[in-house]
Amino acid sequence: MRISVVGAGYVGLVTGVNLAADGHAVTFIERAEERLADLAAGRMPIEEPGLAEAYAANADRISVRPELGDLSSMDLVLIAVGTPIGEAGDPDLSQLRSALDALRAWPELDVSVRSTLPPGTSARLPAMLDRTNGEHVSTNPEFLRQGSAMSDHRHPTRIVIGTYPETGDAHRAKVEALFGGLDAPRLYVDVAAAELIKNVANGFLALKLSFVNEVAALSEEYGVEVQSVLDGIALDPRIGSTYMRPGLGFGGSCLPKELQVLAAAGRRQGLPMHLARAVSQVNIEQQDRFVRRIQAELPRKGARVGLLGLSFKADTDDLRGSPALHVARRLLDAGVQVVAHDPAVHVDRAEAAAPGILMVQDPMAAIDDADAVIIGTEWPTYASIDWAAARGRVRFPLIFDGRNLVDPGAAAAAGFLYRGIGRLSAEPAPAEAARR
Ligand SMILES: NC(=O)c1ccc[n+]([C@@H]2O[C@H](COP(=O)([O-])OP(=O)(O)OC[C@H]3O[C@@H](n4cnc5c(N)ncnc54)[C@H](O)[C@@H]3O)[C@@H](O)[C@H]2O)c1
């Protein structure tokens, strides 16, 4: 098929490049000049493992342009623009509106929306396209995880296709063809159900993480290793062990947003949505509690920390909603000098997001003369740091591990005090402590 993908961000690019690899001719429509220029030059504007290689390998079936152009020979348009939260906490649908506005000139064109839509939006898509019904319209929400998005696209847990009562068989066949060779359960549901499946899936994942984080804080206070509690509950098959890793909080463009979307959607219907709001609060408290724990052990004046990791999770350069970035900003606000390293985040973007931060190219340079080393993102490279070598570079040997990435025993053996999330604090052996 000839497919236009509107919006070349994380979802649009991953989807479009995979479709090109499947043999479709893909045109990306991207209005951000910098992203467009990168793509035109064959550079990836985002960091996602495997994306650049797949883009290069299928370049002959990929084109990029700033506007839709003539769509008369297009088989299908996929919408993958952002649907962020606006200033007032309500969904900002301006990108969606502008993308659909531009399609009004093509009343028969098949359009499928891959962006995450807040409850109640899908029902309005035909009207936003200036059409009387959804004969040529559908939704197909994306469930990829940044960092493993390319493989998630190839191995989806499910394919959800939202349709209208009028959606025609010819349209369904085109959308089905997008996922032709993929082995996954298909769910054909009403568009309103499709949007809720996506919103609720993210809400539930966030709920698990906040619950585990609250349990981790409780475990810390009672001197219990949180993992022993989680191992103990995981054996109950109704509970299990997946997505139950304590940490300094969740971030990204999806989970925090989805909780606000759910809360706002419920509010509009007069529902209190206690859980959605509480899950958000726990997540913010988790990050603030971590900052308070750090501050309590820093010198009052002239403190300096080495922050390892700034992206919201490993294997992405995305700073949206990043807990590590939140920690950096809070410490900078408190007058702490923050020297940071991240393998993927560009220096300019980091310095714009957290004015005053100093970015360095090497993790060891970040911890030079630090009063504390903070693990902000679970980049694998930080798991193999030589703590004995690091001991000679820091001003004070203290690790705050926001991702439970470091082996507490190894850190203590190298002379570091270790503080994790729901983990028992580790202390160096007395002889080592005496040397500090
Ligand atoms: N990032 C994820 O992990 C993820 C996962 C599942 C679903 N989603 C959803 O997918 C959607 C896209 O997310 P993303 O992270 O890829 O966003 P993004 O911000 O990285 O990308 C959106 C792109 O669309 C472009 N754009 C906006 N309006 C346009 C227009 N009218 N014409 C051309 N280009 C336009 C923007 O310039 C931007 O490059 C959102 O609804 C998001 O909630 C994201």
pLDDT at 436 over 60: no
pLDDT at 434 over 60: no
What is the set of active-site residues? 254
Query: Which residues on adjacent β-strands are paired with residue 426?
Result: 418
What's the 84 CA to ligand 1 centre distance in angstroms? 9
Residue of 4, 28, 34, 81 to test ligand 1 pocket, by largest number of atoms within 8 Å of CB:
81
Average pLDDT over residues 195-212: 97
Closest ligand 1 atom number to CA of residue 99: 31
Per-residue pLDDT of 85-113, as tens digits, reads: 887 778 899 999 999 999 999 999 999 99
Which residue's alpha carbon is nearest to atom 23 within ligand 1? 7
CA distance 377 to 250: 11
Average pLDDT over all residues of the chain: 95
pLDDT at 168 over 70: yes
Distances (CA, A) of 356 to 221, 222, 258, 369: 34, 37, 30, 18
Beta strand 25-29 pairing with 62-65? parallel
Average pLDDT over residues 362-385: 97
Distances (CA, A) of 176 to 161, 305, 336: 9, 51, 54
The answer, yes or no, to whether any atom of ligand 1 lies below 6 A from the CB of 118, is: no
Per-residue pLDDT of 15-28, as tens digits, reads: 999 999 999 999 99
Residues 342/309, Cβ–Cβ less than 8 Å: yes
Average pLDDT over residues 56-60: 98
What's the 321 CA to ligand 1 centre distance in angstroms? 15
Q: Is 223 exposed, middle or buried (0-12, 13-18, 19+ CB in 10 A)?
A: exposed
